[in-house]
């Protein structure tokens, strides 16, 4: 497992624009996921790691997990098209946090993948949102929310109206976004130990996958897909004996 300092550095790297790596990795062609581990010495874990994400959630163990406590009050202030995803950024000193394992984890950013990266009993959802948090030690916890095709998502639309059309473009979000409305009312979840789903694929990441999906419209999904020009989901990885708890 990476050291705490190492993970803190990796978190910082994961939060900035991916322009420096844009020519090195992608979701198709020579830079596609199956090649990530060979593209850079620092990304070897993408190929050799035994606790990689995403996964297919199938068999689980009932561990009577404590409820997830979310405290989202501020909302994002910026929206970036980094060429790999659409990412919403939090302001410095944000009060958007979760309580997990008796610790406070602060939201750093959230972004989207279509179709979903994690699958449930083999099912891919239309889209998956990853809310990336860190604690005081620099460890990472990701809360994942699934989206099915269905009714238009009004809160998501506030982001979509400002979606930058081209890579490396950004936008300011003047409209207050209520992050609580991008979470299901029932926050029961599956939990497992995994990794970042993009290079450098660092492990030691706590994954919280909410069981109940939200919806987005076909038009909203099409806008995201058209802007990305390709799917942006890493294939599911082997469990290598890991246990998923709920």
| CA–CA separation, 115 and 59 (whole Å) | 22
Residue 171 pLDDT greater than 60, yes or no: yes
The CA distance from 123 to 82, in Å, is 27
19-33 core/surface letters (b: 16 or more CB in 10 A; e: else): eebeeebbbeeebeb
In sequence order, which residues have a C-beta less than 8 Å from that of residue 168 and are 6 or more positions away?
17, 19, 81, 82, 83
Cα-based torsion angle of the residue sequence 22, 133, 140, 114 in order, rounded to the nearest 10 degrees: -50
From 3.90.550.10, 3.10.200.10, 3.10.105.10, 3.40.1380.10, which CATH number describes the 4-228 domain?
3.10.200.10
DSSP assignment of 146-211 equals EEEE-S--HHHHHHHTT--SSTTEEEE--SPP-GGGGS-S---EEEEEEE-SSTT--EEEEEEEES
Average pLDDT of the residues of the chain: 91
Domain residue limits, the chain: 4-228
Task: State pTM to two decimals.
Answer: 0.92
pLDDT tens digits along 19-71: 334 448 999 999 999 999 999 999 999 999 999 999 999 999 999 999 999 99
Annotated catalytic residues are 84
């Amino acid at each position: 497992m990476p050291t705490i300092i190492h993970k803190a550095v990796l978190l910082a790297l994961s939060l900035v624009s991916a322009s420096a790596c844009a020519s090195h990795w992608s979701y198709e062609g020579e830079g596609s996921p199956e090649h990530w581990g060979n593209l850079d010495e620092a990304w070897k874990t993408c190929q050799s790691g035994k606790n990689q994400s995403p996964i297919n959630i199938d068999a689980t163990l009932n561990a009577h997990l404590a409820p997830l406590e979310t405290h989202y009050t501020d909302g994002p202030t910026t929206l970036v098209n980094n060429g790999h995803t659409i990412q919403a950024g939090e302001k410095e000193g944000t009060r958007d946090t979760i309580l997990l394992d008796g610790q406070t984890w602060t939201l750093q950013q959230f972004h989207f993948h279509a179709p979903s990266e994690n699958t449930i009993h083999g099912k891919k959802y239309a889209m998956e949102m990853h809310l990336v948090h860190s604690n005081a030690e620099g460890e990472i916890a990701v809360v994942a929310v699934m989206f099915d095709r269905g009714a238009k998502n009004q809160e998501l639309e506030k982001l979509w109206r400002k979606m930058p059309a081209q890579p490396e473009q950004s936008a300011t979000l003047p409209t207050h976004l209520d992050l609580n409305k991008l979470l299901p009312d029932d926050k029961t979840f599956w939990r497992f130990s995994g990794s970042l789903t993009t290079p450098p694929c660092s492990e030691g990441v706590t994954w919280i996958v909410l069981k109940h999906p939200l919806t987005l419209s076909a038009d909203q999904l099409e806008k995201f897909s058209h802007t990305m020009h390709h799917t942006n989901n890493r294939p599911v990885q082997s469990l290598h004996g890991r246990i998923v708890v709920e």
